[in-house]
Amino acid sequence: MKRISFVIVLLWLAQNAKAQAFETLRNHKTPLFQVFDPDVAADEWLRVVQEEHEMPMPSGMKESLRRAVDAERSKFNQRNIKRRENFTGNPTPPTSISPNDEKGWDGTSGSGTPNDNHIAVSNGGMVISVLNTSIRVYDDQGNWKKQWGLIQFANQQKKIDVFPTMDRVYDPRVLYDPIADRFIILFMHGVTDNRSFIVVAFSQTNDPLQGWNVYKIPGKPTNDLIWSDYPIVTHNTHDVFFTVNLIGNGASWEEGFTEAIIWQLNKADGYKGDTLRKDFYSNIKYQGKALRSICPIQNGPMPEGTDNYFLTVKPIDKVNDTAFLLHINNTQQSGQAELSMKVLVSPQKYGFPPSALQPDTSYKLRTNDCRVLSAVRIGNQIQYLQNTMNFKTMQAHLTHNTIYRIAEDPVIQAGMITDDSLDMGYPAIAAAGKNADDPSTVITFVYSSPWHYPGTGVVYRNRLGEYSNKVKLVQGKSLIYYSFIPKGEQRWGDYEGIQAKYNEPGVFYTVGSYGKNNSMFAWISRIKLKDQLLNSPVSDVRIFPVPANENLFIEVKVDKPAIYKANLVNMLGQSVKSGLNISLSEGIHKLKIDAGQLSDGIYHLQLTADNVVVRSQKIIIQ
């Protein structure tokens, strides 16, 4: 039977990092390179297939460990992995919260492997899908508008600044900024020090088919014998943050790693086409060792705020439980942004994941390592995901951990998304609640097994920590098999993408990979959550004081007049107080509970209308 396990945190590391000598370079400036006009770019309706090659590997890939882990798995008793043709199984919890797959369409296959999928969608319904070397623009119903090569962002004429002709682009990322109503694209160039730089482009309007302001960021910011690899990107109201790993020339992926760095870019400069001001953070170490593969954390549900968190782990360890929480506390423009770090321990260990299996089990799909791949901050908590070893079944599964009290004394609550048949990998997460009080999230991932060709799925977790069914967005039609890569070392992905359509509550766009014609193709989906609270006539509930020991006050903001029934349930879902009907008109109402009638503990106040729960709010009595 399908299982999603959730382990409550009982432990956190009392020791924080000792004072760190982080290095910060403030107000680094990059002039505008050029204004790119998609209208004059060649439309890639026909592409010349590039020579067969792998896209650059994420740094830190430990080949010897991967082979050892895969060998251990091959000895594992496969009878512990059950065959199931329909992996959705019985609902846990009920199907009432499983996302609806409203629409999906084929993207394209990438030039090389893996796809490096990412996606963004505007409030106006323009969708950008990027992978490997290309960008495609659609409307929000999947109608194709235009496709062009990423190299055209820098290879047009009328250049303002010196910019070499691009010939090796990879690892694209795309963001939509709902506050400014603009798009941002970032991608890498070059795999040696003399060719390495990062391209960042800001759309001049909300139409990605109009002009873009293009900038070139140095790929070797600390010395001359390195290059930048594997960007992860996020943003808030004022800034764009991206991290890269710096790799030394002429060394292996693991041995060549030197350090991970953080760039902080002023968004307003990019939108205006002004000289781009940036801060740069380096020498990010713990106990003398550089941290690698630092993941910027997206603020949610909206990308707002003046600060940003970052997270990393020990991604190439066979077994570990340490996490590093970093924080930049201010905007680039303030001139006062500082980087700090805390060290945490998870009560559930993570570890280097095995390769995923396909129906022909000699063709294994690499899962790279157990770096933090995607994370979201909601209020005073952070949820993050990794590829990891499931030590009970020797499968590739996903951590889904939560860090609570991030602004005070952080503590990790550990969990795992598992399945008795599937290997899973490359998760991406987005906030799904209406506000920072609702920690609901939606997660997309890729999957494969001896009975499932590689496909893409999605799962929803509501504010109470209950998971929906896993929903298949696209089922694979073939193995993923590239003849120029050994059978047991096929590439599966580096990352996938998900973004909320900010002006349509409960709607998300995802992009993931699946197998077709022995290659890896992209699949784009529009999904809509079925959770009734997303369409709640009660838009806000505030509880005070917290915790309460006498009177507990509740402010309820009602958007739709109705007769509501109030119920109070404990953490086991058992009714404590129920059956009270209250008539509420539109507006803000103040209610009171006599806390003296209740035992100390945590409860949920539920408001229902027409037998549907429209609001659930946590209450603490102490």
Task: Check whether residue 387 and residue 482 sit in a common domain.
Answer: yes
Does residue 176 or residue 81 have the better pLDDT?
176
Q: What is the CATH number of the domain that holds 551?
A: 2.60.40.1930
Q: Which of 189, 205, 187, 209 is nearest to 197 (CA)?
A: 189
DSSP-derived pairing of the beta strands 562-570 and 601-609: antiparallel
Q: What is the CATH number of the domain that holds 197?
A: 2.120.10.10
Q: Are 260 and 316 in contact (CB under 8 A)?
A: no
Domain count, the chain: 2
**Torsion sign (Cα): 152, 153, 159, 165:** negative
pLDDT at 330 over 70: yes
How far is residue 277's CA from residue 271's CA, in Å, rounded to a whole number? Answer: 12
Task: Check whether residue 550 and residue 507 sit in a common domain.
Answer: no
Using CB atoms within 10 Å of the CB of residue 589, give its burial: 0 to 12 exposed, 13 to 18 middle, 19+ buried. Answer: middle
Of 483, 500, 532, the one marking the end of a domain is 532
Task: Check whether residue 201 and residue 125 sit in a common domain.
Answer: yes
Q: How many other C-beta atoms lie within 10 A of the C-beta of residue 581?
A: 9
Is residue 148 in some structural domain? yes
Task: Check whether residue 207 and residue 294 sit in a common domain.
Answer: yes
Task: Check whether residue 359 and residue 276 sit in a common domain.
Answer: yes
Among 159-168, 307-316, 436-445, name the one with the lowest average pLDDT: 159-168
Q: Are 542 and 529 in contact (CB under 8 A)?
A: no
Note the pLDDT of residue 566.
83
Note the pLDDT of residue 91.
39
pLDDT at 443 over 90: yes
Does residue 135 or residue 91 have the better pLDDT?
135
Is residue 88 in some structural domain? no
Q: What is the DSSP secondary-structure string of 29-53?
A: EE---EEE-GGGSPP-SS-PPPPS-
Of 475, 502, 532, the one marking the end of a domain is 532
Note the pLDDT of residue 61.
63
pLDDT at 161 over 70: no
Give the residue-averaged pLDDT of 133-162.
84
Q: Are 293 and 371 in contact (CB under 8 A)?
A: yes
DSSP 357: P
pTM given for the model:
0.83
How far is residue 571's CA from residue 604's CA, in Å, rounded to a whole number? Answer: 7
DSSP 64: H
CA angle 581, 596, 538 (to 5 degrees): 35
How far is residue 598's CA from residue 620's CA, in Å, rounded to a whole number? Answer: 10
pLDDT tens digits, one per residue of 348-406: 999 999 999 999 999 999 999 999 999 999 999 999 999 999 999 999 999 999 999 99
Is residue 442 in some structural domain? yes
Is residue 93 in some structural domain? no
pLDDT tens digits, one per residue of 63-113: 788 888 888 888 765 545 544 444 443 333 457 788 999 999 998 766 678
pLDDT tens digits, one per residue of 282-305: 999 999 999 999 999 999 999 999
Is residue 505 in some structural domain? yes
Task: Check whether residue 126 and residue 105 sit in a common domain.
Answer: yes
Task: Check whether residue 509 and residue 595 sit in a common domain.
Answer: no
Residues 6+ apart with CB under 8 A from 580: 565, 566, 567
pLDDT at 18 over 50: no
Note the pLDDT of residue 56.
79
Q: Are 62 and 316 in contact (CB under 8 A)?
A: yes
Note the pLDDT of residue 85.
41
Is residue 80 in some structural domain? no
How far is residue 522's CA from residue 113's CA, in Å, rounded to a whole number? Answer: 12
Coil, strand or helix at 145: strand
Task: Check whether residue 528 and residue 542 sit in a common domain.
Answer: no
How far is residue 509's CA from residue 121's CA, in Å, rounded to a whole number? Answer: 7
Is residue 550 in some structural domain? yes
Cα torsion 574, 580, 585, 587 to 10°: value is -50
Give the residue-averaged pLDDT of 322-331.
98
Task: Check whether residue 496 and residue 593 sit in a common domain.
Answer: no
Task: Check whether residue 400 and residue 543 sit in a common domain.
Answer: no
Task: Check whether residue 606 and residue 469 sit in a common domain.
Answer: no
pLDDT, averaged across the chain: 87
pLDDT tens digits, one per residue of 543-577: 777 776 677 788 888 887 888 888 888 877 778 88
Task: Check whether residue 515 and residue 616 sit in a common domain.
Answer: no
Q: Domain range spanning residue 549?
A: 536-621
Q: What is the DSSP secondary-structure string of 316-340?
A: T-SSEEEEEEEEE-S-TTTT---EE
Note the pLDDT of residue 358.
97
Is residue 81 in some structural domain? no
Coil, strand or helix at 79: helix
Share above pLDDT 90 across residues of the chain, in percent, rounded to a whole number: 59
Of 500, 532, 564, the one marking the end of a domain is 532
Using CB atoms within 10 Å of the CB of residue 213, give its burial: 0 to 12 exposed, 13 to 18 middle, 19+ buried. Answer: buried
